[in-house]
Amino acid sequence: MRLLEGRVNRPAGRRAVIPLLYSEGVWRFLFVAMCAGQMQAASPVTFYRDALPILQRRCQECHRPGEAGPMPLVTYNQTRPWAKAIRAAVVNRRMPPWFADPCCGKFANDRTLSKDEVDTLAQWVEDGAVAGDVNDAPRLRSWPEKGNIESPDALLEMPRPFAVPAKGELEYQRFKLATGFNGDRWVQAVEVRPGARRAIHHVVVYIREPGETWTKGPTTSDMLAVYAPGSLPVEWTRGMAKLIPKGSDLVMEIHYTPYGRAVEDRTSVAMRFAKTPSSKRVLSLQLHKLALAIPPGESDYRVNVWGTLPNDALLLSLFPHMHLRGKAFEYTVSREGAPPETLLRISRYNFHWQLSYRLAQPILLKKGSRISATAWYDNSANNPLNPDPKIEVHWGEQSREEMMVGFFDVAVDPAFDRKSFFVRE
């Protein structure tokens, strides 16, 4: 998440004392530190000095105007009315959204707050949620004008707005975006910018290469980007990028979910290109199980699917996808000469947050490595999201139906295209 964590905030007063202890004459500074510690204990935790840096670092990516969070947490006046809710949300670990079980894997975009961050926010609220001295405030964190990619190299928009009705169920809609690129493009960073955010359940942007003519139904085209609430732009490490071959179109597939108000949507895709051709091509692959038959009332229905990599690949990220009955999900990998390893475990899957988990360190998977995905479903009446516990559930596009997909991104030798990586059961 390098893109979004550009600036490290000035540390809060309390913590600034500690490095002195180690770096300078111990006794003199120990005395200073103790005095500072006592003063701290007496004065309340304040918004400007203590809470705001955490909000900037951890919350404003979503809680600012125009983004996914329902209210901005930028100024004191905006934040103060939410103080109690903030305390509850961080103490219960409902916010920021993050679902990877700490047992397994390390992720570059891990949003988990440190204990210190939780304690500071909670203490700020317990101390009366005071503003404090505005001179203690970190500089206002600056964000791009729109979206999260500053001055993109390309911004492609749906050709015309789509009218989303107030109610009903819509089939997936597909829109062609002509690129007009006069050569190959290596995409270093990409962001889907939803138009009518509330009416959009998810967006998938496919790269339809020259000669491909599909307009509906499943496709084997590579995905450039996936958006769902909580998604942020993806930026690949230098030297790795998505390829849009010359002459390709983008096809934007959108699942609209009406919410009681007729609205118009015009979603766009922003991209930043790599300056030079990349030595690795990023491909999005998937393991999926189409043959789903989840019995009515079943609370722990397990589905497993696995595939073998036909070529060497560097595993970059994981993105599990299920619908309302999704309960848990897990990826494991088996490499030659090593015991199977759990890469990601989500013990409490949450349909409303479709997140991508980016490995802190890419993992080299040699040709022949086996990657496996397991999903669990709760089709019982105890699942509060279950739209109907009395039916057998099958694969389908709508949220009342189910899916079982384990997406994963790999970086490969650019000589390979996606077809040479298609993973089968």
Interface contacts to ligand HEC, rule CB under 6 A: 58-59, 61-63, 68-70, 82, 85-86, 88-90, 94-97, 111, 113, 229-230
Cβ neighbours of 237 (radius 10 Å): 17
CA 10 to chain centre: 26
For every residue of 127-188, DSSP letters joined together read TT-----GGGPPPPPP--SSSSSSS-SEEEE-SS-EEE-SSS--PPEEEEEE---SS-EEEE
CB closer to ligand HEC, 111 vs 208: 111
Report how far residue 294's alpha carbon sits from residue 395's, in angstroms, rounded to the nearest whole number. 9
For every residue of 58-91, DSSP letters joined together read HTTTTSSTTSSSSS--SSHHHHGGGHHHHHHHHH
Cβ contacts of 82 within 8 Å, gap of 6 or more: 71, 73
**Smallest separation, CB 62 to ligand HEC (Å):** 3
**Smallest separation, CB 70 to ligand HEC (Å):** 5
CB closer to ligand HEC, 85 vs 166: 85
Task: Specify whether the CB–CB gap between 174 and 158 falls below 8 A.
Answer: no
Start-to-end CA distance of the chain, whole Å, equals 32
CB closer to ligand HEC, 64 vs 281: 64
Q: Shortest CA distance to 249 belongs to which of 186, 187, 180?
A: 180
**Smallest separation, CB 94 to ligand HEC (Å):** 5
Backbone angles phi, psi at 156, to 5 degrees: -110, 135
> What SS3 state is found at 14?
helix
CB closer to ligand HEC, 113 vs 287: 113
CB closer to ligand HEC, 78 vs 219: 78
Q: How many residues does the chain have?
A: 425
Place of tokens 């998810």: 202
**Smallest separation, CB 57 to ligand HEC (Å):** 8
For every residue of 400-424, DSSP letters joined together read TSB--EEEEEEEE-TT--GGGG---
**Smallest separation, CB 141 to ligand HEC (Å):** 13
CB closer to ligand HEC, 90 vs 375: 90
CB closer to ligand HEC, 17 vs 89: 89
Q: Tell me the β-bridge partners of 241.
A: 281
Q: Could you tell me the CA-to-CA distances from 226 to 15, 176, 328 in Å, in that order?
A: 39, 16, 21
**Smallest separation, CB 226 to ligand HEC (Å):** 15
**Smallest separation, CB 113 to ligand HEC (Å):** 6
CB closer to ligand HEC, 84 vs 246: 84
**Smallest separation, CB 78 to ligand HEC (Å):** 12
**Smallest separation, CB 125 to ligand HEC (Å):** 10
Q: Tell me the β-bridge partners of 203.
A: 227, 254
CB closer to ligand HEC, 111 vs 185: 111
CB closer to ligand HEC, 221 vs 356: 356
CB closer to ligand HEC, 61 vs 222: 61
**Smallest separation, CB 213 to ligand HEC (Å):** 37
Q: Shortest CA distance to 173 belongs to which of 207, 204, 208, 211?
A: 204
Angle between the N-to-C axes of helices 83-91 and 115-126, in degrees from 0 to 180, rounded to the nearest 10: 150
**Smallest separation, CB 27 to ligand HEC (Å):** 39
Q: Locate 223 and state its tokens.
A: 């995905």
Place of tokens 């030595």: 279
